[in-house]
Every structure is written in C-alpha cells, then in structure tokens.
Amino acid sequence: MASKETPLQTAVQPEQGAADDPMWERWKLEMPRLYDAIYYQINPIITYVDRAGHVLLERPFSANDHFSSVLEVGGGTGQHIAHVRHGFDRYVFTDIDPLLLDIAEQRTPARPGLTFEQQDATHLTYSDGTFDRLISVFNL
C-alpha cells in the first residue's frame, strides 16, 4: 500500500533529495530549541521512556567506578551526562549539530576534563583506543 508522504517526512530525509528543501532547512534551525520540549516535556510517555533510558544505561555504574576517557556521541542537548555517576579523567561530549552542541555546553555544569566537540559519529577523528567508554543514547 502506498503511504501518503507529509511535508515533514520529506524534510527529514535529505538523502532522498530534500537537502535543498526549505522545510528541512527550517527544521534544522528550529529543532534545537524545540528538542527538550519534544523529547523531555510535552508528552509524559515519551518523557518517561527517555528519562528511564538514561537512568538504565548508568545503573551498572556508581561513584566507585572510574573511566579514563569517555566519548559520548550524538549527545544532543546534554540530557545524559547529568545521569553519569562514575568518575572520569576526560569526557568528550560530541554531536554533529553545532546548535545542539551549543545548548549542551551552556546547560552542562563545567567539570574537570569535560569538553564539547562537533563530531560526526560515522567519521570520528580520534585514534583507535582513545576511549575506554562509549556512550550513545537514543541514536540509531
């Protein structure tokens, strides 16, 4: 059965030729400030599932655990790092979107070793073995 394509579906599939779609350009600019509302405020079920995902991922770790170098990819607005309880020497928070990265950097309290970098998770610029923990939450 053929599905009816909405403007939003067109906008979020740049690989199908929508890169010049004004709706896609508008979505990219407006999505960062709407991000937390969409995923963490408006819908109680989505909010619950998203928060539970962050908590569950960190459940195995406590303040007694320590990693030397942590890489978070696709970190968005920085929701996950508030749930990280283990220690670290270095935590590199990354996202491909500079607007989301900026929100994450502004909202996350400074911690020794924590830095923010724009990175494409499919083409990371780090050498193999740089990190001993990778965090990737709700990224497929």
Ligand X SMILES: C[S@@+](CC[C@H](N)C(=O)[O-])C[C@H]1O[C@@H](n2cnc3c(N)ncnc32)[C@H](O)[C@@H]1O
Provide the minimum distance between the beta carbon of 89 and ligand X in the complex, in angstroms, as a whole number: 22
In the chain, the amino acid numbered 22 is P
Distance (Å, whole) CA 96 – CA 55: 24
Q: Does 74 bind ligand X (CB under 6 A)?
A: yes
Residues 32-61 that bind ligand X (CB under 6 A): 39
Provide the minimum distance between the beta carbon of 121 and ligand X in the complex, in angstroms, as a whole number: 3
- Decide: residue 17, CB within 10 A, 0-12 exposed, 13-18 middle, 19+ buried: exposed
Phi, psi of 135 (to 5 degrees): -115, 125
Query: Which stretch, 11-19, 62-70, 73-81, 83-91, contacts ligand X (CB under 6 A)?
Result: 73-81
Residues near ligand X (CB under 6 A) are: 39, 73-76, 79-80, 95-97, 100, 120-122, 137-139
